[in-house]
Amino acid sequence: MRALPGTGEAEAWSADDVKATLVAALRAIMATPLNSRDYPQSVRSTWSWPMLQQAGDYADERARVSRVRPNATQLKQAELALPWMLWIENERDRRVVAARLFGVPWRLICEFDGRSRQWLSTVVVPGCFDLIAERLNEDAELEPNRFTELTRFAS
């Protein structure tokens, strides 16, 4: 059970709520910028100063737009929501759900998994979201705060 924002009333988790929360958590993690320690340490080369000046003349300003960075609340909710994936005991099913949340096309998922798209999309993935929702409803202490529209990324 979870509290609705603003009202404090309890509401049960549904499979759609679980899916939306996991998608928002993955978006928050993926939008987090990498720092210098996250890149491989290898031989680094740079262009000479005249080359950089010429490249700057042709650079497209639209390519330099930075992406929206998640705030601390979104990152905290992502840290609480991502371990839900470990509740899916079957590793094959967990990989399928994770790939689908990352937006991998069904064709590629079916190639590496070996099961049909119809079976995966109608039985496996919804069943996994139902399993997570049941567990969240059974144990109210494990739930994070519900993602509100203010903390959810725009699609």
pLDDT tens-digit readout, 83-130:
899 999 999 999 999 999 988 999 999 999 999 999 999 999 999 999
Distance CA 100, CA 38 (A): 25
Q: Is the per-residue pLDDT at 153 higher than 50?
A: no
Contact yes or no for 152/25 (Cβ under 8 A): no
Contact residues for 83 (Cβ-Cβ < 8 A; gap 6+): none
**pLDDT for res 154:** 42
Collapse the DSSP code of 2 into the 3-class scheme (helix H, G, I; strand E, B; otherwise coil) and give the result: strand
Contact residues for 117 (Cβ-Cβ < 8 A; gap 6+): 106, 107, 109, 110
**pLDDT for res 72:** 85
| Per-residue tokens: 75 | 């990152």
**pLDDT for res 140:** 59
Distance CA 114, CA 129 (A): 21
Distance CA 90, CA 88 (A): 6
**pLDDT for res 152:** 42
Most confident range, picked from 8-17, 31-40, 49-58? 8-17
Q: pLDDT by residue (tens digit) across 24-43? A: 898 888 888 777 666 555 55
H or E element, residue 3? strand 2-3
